[in-house]
Structure 1
Amino acid sequence: MRWCPLFRCTVWTIVALFLLGTPAVSAATIEAVLGEDIPLSGTSTGGGDVYLFLTGPNLAAGGVSLDRLAPVATGSKSSFTVVSTGDDNRWNYRWKTAGLALDPGVYTLYASDTPAARGDLGARNAVYGTVGISLRSPGLTLDTGGTLAIGASVDGARVAVNGEEIGAAPLTLKGLGPGEYRVGVNASGYEPWSGVAVVNENGTTEISADLIPLTTVETTVPTTPANTPAAASPLPAAFIPLILLALRKR
């Protein structure tokens, strides 16, 4: 899969979350103002219902519904924001952020084929996609706030900021408040990487994760056991006629 670059969000931005049989993470991060409507859409190849929930600052760890911000519960379909797919297996949802008690910050939106909270997605074998959403206060311009650019020595490595998975490297987050941000980067076959990035107002902070491949211990098994007796050395050819001659004289 080729990871798409970061883009900014307007009221009409459409984010596609594809449920293709394996968990997928979008590298795109939506930037929006609290109070805006954010249209969301995607494709679920299996059709049926899609279960949406949100994680982020001051929200329940397992996720909350988009419309009520109430905690979701694994197995309880009504606790999620549920959207249905059409005949073409596509789904659409307009997220109204007005009136919701959300703080400015970076959030993660999940779209799953199974009603499972974040910590239960793996156990339920859920197929899901995620996308990062950066929400800022009304009245701020798009250029207000700091910028955090995250790279990695392995393209497509998964990136988490302050414990929330937001996409894949390389990616750029804009409109962030000043302060420290914990960054974690993971890729299959590599040791996890973590670091702290300090973001300043109206400044750009760049951070790059140099991932180290996992090492494996190899053992060499001897082909011949150590206690195997050595084979007897053959007699030189010159000794053979002498042995035959001695036998004849007898």
Structure 2
Amino acid sequence: MITAHRILLTLTLCLFLCVLAEGASVTVTASGTGVYWIGDGILLGGTNTGNTTTYLFLTGPDLPENGVKLDDVTVPVADGQGSTFVQAGVGPDNTWRYTWDTSAVRQVAGVDHSTYTIYAVSAPRDRAHVSKAAFGTTSVVVKRDFVTVTLSADSVARGDSLTISGTLHDFPDNISVWLFAEGYRSFARPAGGAGDGSFANVVTGSETLNMTAGWCSVIIQHPGKDGEPDVVPINETWIRDAAGSEIDLGVLSREVAVGTLIQAIRTSQSDAYAWSYFRVVEPLTDPRATPALIPTDTDGVPGPGETATLSVTATGANVVSVTAALSAIGGSAAAVMSDTGDGIWTVSTAAIVPSPFVDGAYQPVLLPVKATGADGISNTSVSIPLTVVKNGDANQDNRVTLYDAVYTARHVLGIESYPMTESVGMVAGGDALSLADAAYLARHVLGIPGYEVLH
């Protein structure tokens, strides 16, 4: 039962607190520059003339609006309940101190260069009621220990290697690489720090050969300020998170396993991470053109020696289509190649655009190949080289002149030092190179009617 005595006592206490708070002040400052890495300790201090205890709480991104306990951001402060606040004792000289471990905000998802406000209050009042007490504030910026990741290629053929590299804020000798590919996983392998804020790690050809064509996720784990990772592997499939919980990633799909690991790192006390991925594709080998050199088709009817068969070996039952880009020689942007068996894909082509002429010679044109699997993932790692010479340019000097007619005649007659690709000189429309081609070419160069087109 509420007695008159208890009511009087309560009113007296409230009056005492009001008198105590009147004219009281609280200040707070933070040591350092105002910008800190997660895990740094910040010395907070100030004055409090309104009480023998200073109550501390925190506000900021992704936190409850009225604040959280400074040393445990999972605990919202409750107005009037001192146990939900961090408490710092006030000395006889009205000063107080408290060292805040910024690792506390590690539990805030997405913390990265975030600004937080620290409240110091003369009574346990939350943000909504802080004006009813003396208080001071200071703001700090807390940054996550960072790590970046760069891949040497966006895709890698099975059996080829790939380099993972990057930069980090600290502890270059204690960075871990996690790989999650279809049919292959590698947990917490040492990244190979260079001691200069960088690292590099090679995914070897023997490793990619064990991967199934598809995506491979790369997670780089930074141990944070304390230098010790909070998320660690137990064996080839299990991990232990910062809370000590053991999780079997082996029973999870690649995508779910990656998400589970990232979530464990994000909610740890000190770890940071970077994430990337690359494609694993079936290898393309033996790109070739037969013959390797052809003349331009100048009459629209490819004659003998004016076509080349382009071929490439695309192994793996997963490959469903292969195309070659022939735009550089005047052909289709995606000429469809046919599977002739044993993984060999081919297409025949003529050319109407000659190769670039550089340093006194025709240079091979590289015709990109694109092999696509049933999963839609494509391999564009190889190109087929093909050299295209101007039709009639017997001595291959990038000009068609009377000398080419003479050169052709001397070659046909077997005179030494006049080698040539005979298909380049077959301009009269016959099935084999002869003196008739030399005569036809001379008449063409001289502009004689009836010889306007080289065949």
> TM-score normalised by the shorter chain: which range applies?
0.3 to 0.5
Q: Which has the larger radius of gyration?
A: 2
TM-score normalized by the length of structure 1: 0.44
